[in-house]
Structures are given as structure tokens and as C-alpha cells.
Amino acid sequence: MKRILAFGFCVILLLAMAVPALGAIGFGTRAMGMGGAFTAVADDESAFYWNPAGITQVRFASVMLGIGAQGEDYSFLSDTIDNISDLERLNPLDFELGRGYLNLGLLGGITTRFVGVNFYSETSISVDHPELETLDVAASSFNYGAVTIAAKIKEDIAIGLNLKQVIAGLGGGNVKVPTTNETYYADGDGISYDLGVLYRLSDQVTFGFIARNLGGEVDLKGEKVYHLTNGKAPYSESVDLPKEYAVGVSYRPFKTTLLAFDIQKCDARLPFTPEQTRFRIGFEQTALWNIIALRLGAFTNKGDPMALTAGIGFNLGPLEIGVAGVKEEINDKDATQALVTAGIRF
């Protein structure tokens, strides 16, 4: 489990040096600045994730790297990470009382108009320590390497496919004094794919669709340790990768103005995110000969309060830089997220 948490902690440090923390993890500052309403837009370097058919709209070859984090009480989680080692016995007295979670995202790769090679990583940490006698820690990391292929089958219709190799790890611990003290770790790999479609109705209106993580299952194998009895046992789990389906529409009333709307259905995610139906809306306005782009958006999970998003991008010749922030409420607590991306086009 330490391997998962150590990776996540490194991303936190990188983010802390880059931007202040602001909150639902997503990929790409342009997309998240627009509330994640990007299925029918998908015309930048993050297109492979939001809709692989969208790379047919990328005008240049480009290299991109982006990072982001969402959570609550970073100092509490940092203390938790410092007190966890691989499969070692957990002592609740070493940990602060409280509850917290953290989602981390990392995105990067090379994209051309019809082919891309990219990666993204999703890491989650959840800690529940309500009293001295009880402690639950869960962590997961899913790392995807994707080869993207896209083509226009007609002038106004494009299709795209991501072929993905997935490397995953799960770790956790459960303590209930005096009856239980156990930890586990398992890892494995698998294959999945995404399918995307773009249909351009007119110069102003485009429709999009994506099905993500189709056919994806990862068989995890590892070990569980029972510390009270000094026993060990094989630990295995088959994990269905969380499938997502989204449809969207984008509309350009003016050349410099973009509006978008998505509906997204998401399976539950390990270790703690439930099944969700999301509604997303986004707005982008460019100015100063497209050098600056201002973005606003919102999204909601069915039955939850609305989350607000904002972002800004700078197009400086071959260099493009963006930042975005998301503010939402999870479990009646404010959750914050910040993202930053940088790309070079050539």
C-alpha cells in the first residue's frame, strides 16, 4: 500500500509547487474549466480522454503534461501517509482522529491528428478514523497507457478508439481494537478500450458520444496479513474498471464563444466514489486574438449540490498553459480541486 500512497504524495508535492489547491477530479484544464462538458468539444490535447474521435480536430502534433488533486484536509492525509508502511501492523494511536480522502490525477502524452500515445493515472486515498479503537485505510491506483486511433468516416462524422493497458494496485488496512488488525496489498494489469464518436451537424453545432473502459477487468493478486495472529493468506480480487458513458452537444454562437452540455453516467469507483449521473455545462470566451481564454462551468451529481468550475488559458505561440479550479461539496463538506496543464505544439 505504501507504493500507492508514495506515488500519490509525490503528485501532491508537485501540485503544491505549481498552483494553490482549489475541487471531482478530471483531466485537462480546458475541459474542467468548462465543467467537464467536453464530449462534443474534444479538440485539444486532452481529447483522447474525453472523446478519442476528437483528435481528428487537433491541428498540430503536441506534447502535454497535466496534474490535478482533489480532497479535504491535506495535512491529515499527509500524516496518514507518513505512518503507513507496506503490510505492516497499523497502530491507531499513531494516526490523527478524523476522516479524509484525496483524489489525484496525472495526464500526458503525444497527440497528432489521427494517432496518439498518452497516459493517465487515477489514485485515490480514503481514511476513516472516528475513534481511537477504529481505523480504516483504503487506497487504489489505476494507471492507463493508451494508443489512440481516429479517422473521419465522412466529412461530418469521426470515430476514435483508445486501446489501453491498465496497471492497478489496491491496498488497505482495517483495525478494530481488540479483535481485528489486518492489512492487504494486491496488484495486477488488464486491457480495456474506449470508443468515441463526433458528429458535426453544422459549423456551430457538434454532437459527441463516448463509452469508456469497455471490456475492462483487472485481476489483482497479493497478500493479506493478520497481525493479531501473525497469519498470512493470499489475497485476490477481480475489479471491473468503472465504465462511463457520456453524450454531449457543443454550440458556437460566435467564433470566439463556445457553449457545451453533457450528460454522463459513471459506475462506482474504488475505494469510495458511488455510482453517479452527472450533468455538465460549460462556457468559454477567447479574447486578444485567442491569446487568452476564460472558462466557466458547473456540474452536478444526481441528488447532490452543484459544483462550480473556472479556468483560464494562455496561448503563447507553440506554448499553451492552463489552470482550472473546481469547488464542490461532498458529504456536506467543501472539497477543493486544482489542475494545471502545459503543452507544446509543433
- Integer Cα distance of 43 and 124 in angstroms: 28
Range with lowest mean pLDDT among 69-78, 132-141, 174-183, 280-289: 69-78
Confidence of residue 346 (pLDDT cuts 50, 70, 90): confident
Phi, psi of 238 (to 5 degrees): -100, 125
- Integer Cα distance of 37 and 17 in angstroms: 28
Strand partners, 100: 127
Burial (CB < 10 A; 0-12, 13-18, 19+), residue 295, is buried
The three state secondary structure string of the chain is: CHHHHHHHHHHHHHHHHHCCCCCCCCCCHHHHHCCCCCCCCCCCCCHHHHCHHHHHHCCCCEEEEEEEEEECCHHHHHHHHHCCCCCCCCCHHHCCCEEEEEEEEEEEEEECCCEEEEEEEEEEEEEEEEECCEEEEEEEEEEEEEEEEEEEEECCEEEEEEEEEEEEEEEEEEEECCCEEEEEEEEEEEEEEEEEEEEECCCCEEEEEEEEEECCEEEEEEEEEECCCCEEEEEEEEEECCCEEEEEEEEEEECCEEEEEEEEEECCECCCECCEEEEEEEEEEEECCCCEEEEEEEEEECCCCCEEEEEEEEEECCEEEEEEEEEEEECCEEEEEEEEEEEEEC
Write down the pLDDT at residue 270.
59
Write down the pLDDT at residue 92.
77
| % residues pLDDT > 70 (the chain) | 84
For residue 198, pLDDT over 90 is answered with yes
Mean pLDDT over 149-157 rounds to: 96
Write down the pLDDT at residue 272.
56
Which residue would you say has higher pLDDT here, 85 or 181? 181
HSE value, Cβ hemisphere, 13 Å, CA-based, for 60: 11
Residue of 223, 229, 212 lying closest to 166 (CA atoms):
212
Write down the pLDDT at residue 83.
65
Question: Cβ atoms within 10 A of the Cβ of 140, count?
Answer: 22
Residue 8 belongs to domain with CATH number: 2.40.160.60
Residue of 249, 160, 245 lying closest to 208 (CA atoms):
249
Average pLDDT in the chain:
85
For residue 276, pLDDT over 80 is answered with yes
Q: Could you read off the pLDDT of 212-229 as tens digits, one per residue?
A: 999 878 999 999 999 888
For residue 273, pLDDT over 70 is answered with no
Q: Could you read off the pLDDT of 1-35 as tens digits, one per residue?
A: 444 444 443 333 333 333 333 334 578 899 999 99
For residue 36, pLDDT over 70 is answered with yes
Q: Could you give the number of structural domains in the chain?
A: 1
For residue 328, pLDDT over 80 is answered with no
Q: Could you read off the pLDDT of 289-323 as tens digits, one per residue?
A: 999 999 999 998 777 788 899 999 999 988 999 99
For residue 40, pLDDT over 90 is answered with yes
End-to-end alpha-carbon separation of the chain, Å? 40
Range with lowest mean pLDDT among 17-21, 120-124, 264-268, 276-280: 17-21
Q: Could you read off the pLDDT of 88-142 as tens digits, one per residue?
A: 677 777 777 887 778 888 999 999 999 999 999 988 888 888 888 888 888 889 9
Q: What is the domain range of residue 39? A: 2-345
